[in-house]
Structure 1
Amino acid sequence: MDISQAGSQRKLQLQELEEIRLEAYENSRIYKAKTKVAHDKLIMRKEFQVGQKVLLYNSRLKLMPVEIKDESNAKQFTVNGHRLKPFHEDFQEHIMEELHLLNATSI
């Protein structure tokens, strides 16, 4: 095998490697797009009305800004909409019945 033939063989191998890399990149892009669509279908959209009470939990994200007002001091501030959960004033606690199970060995 002479040097020119080995050089052309090496060039062909590099081109094939580049094609494999581009195909892997494209497959990764398609997978990410499909995963995003599936994930977005599972996300529940939250809709709040003006004057509705909400619960606010700690988070540092600022993805979907929503302006809310604190009833205690009338202070207004902007928070991430994903940090809010509806507040149910009419929620009633249910009484749970407690049952004691016996050991299987004592039967």
Structure 2
Amino acid sequence: MDVVCLEAERKFSLATPVEKALNFDMKAAGEKRKLQLHKLEEMHLHACESSKFYKSKVKSYHDRKIVQRNFQPGQQVLLFNSRLRLFLRKLKSKWSGPFVIKSVKHYGAVEFEEPNSGRSWMVNGQRITPYLGGEVEKLTIVIHLNDPRLSEVSS
């Protein structure tokens, strides 16, 4: 006989009568397995329902956060540069532009062009904002300071 068969026979002979009855009662084992499968299926369906509910809540939350913007061709806009990671500077602006809108496509896509070079490309409408002004007035103050050491030397 095979070694595996001998080992199985030895374990079976050491088993209690209750274990022997449970192992040989195929109908009871089948029913128990069916109950386990039904419980597993019920847990799976509950998990799917919970996942769908969570996804719908998150989608509605994010859809509320989307701002509807209406752009017209010829309007000036600024582009948000989200890939500005190479030169981390506190005072460097993340907005570039102004650019002129060439056309507005469906679902928020906007084609615009750079006025100086005439180069045009498409971007997501959520990355742009209207450009509201022209040149910004810069106020500069010049204060002339006298060096106290120079005034002592000349006197």
Is 2:63 the partner of 1:40?
Answer: yes
* Structure having greater relative contact order (Cα 8 Å, sep ≥ 6): 1
Structure 1: gaps spanning 5 or more residues: 94-107
Per the normalisation by structure 1, the TM-score is 0.69
Structure 1 stretches (4+) deviating beyond 4 angstroms? 90-93
Aligned to 1:15: 38
Which residue of structure 1 aligns with residue 113 of structure 2?
Answer: 69
User: Which runs of no fewer than 5 residues in structure 2 stay unpaired?
Assistant: 1-21, 84-106, 138-155
Compute the displacement of 1:74 (Å): 2.1
Query: Offset of 1:26 from its aligned partner?
Result: 1.4
Query: How many percent of aligned residue pairs carry the same amino acid?
Result: 44
Aligned residues: 92
Per the alignment, residue 27 of structure 1 pairs with 50
Answering whether residue 101 of structure 2 is matched by residue 78 of structure 1, we say no
Q: Rate the CA distance shift 1:80–1:6 in 2: closer, same or farther, 3 A.
A: same
Match of 1:98 in 2: none
> Which structure's residues are more often helix, by fraction?
2
Larger radius of gyration: 2
| Cα deviation, residue 85, structure 1 | 1.5
Instruction: Name the CA distance, whole Å, in 2 between partners of 1:69 and 1:90.
Output: 18
Query: For residues 119 and 30 of structure 2, what CA distance do their matches in structure 1 show?
Result: 73
Amino acid in structure 1 at the alignment position of 2:117: N
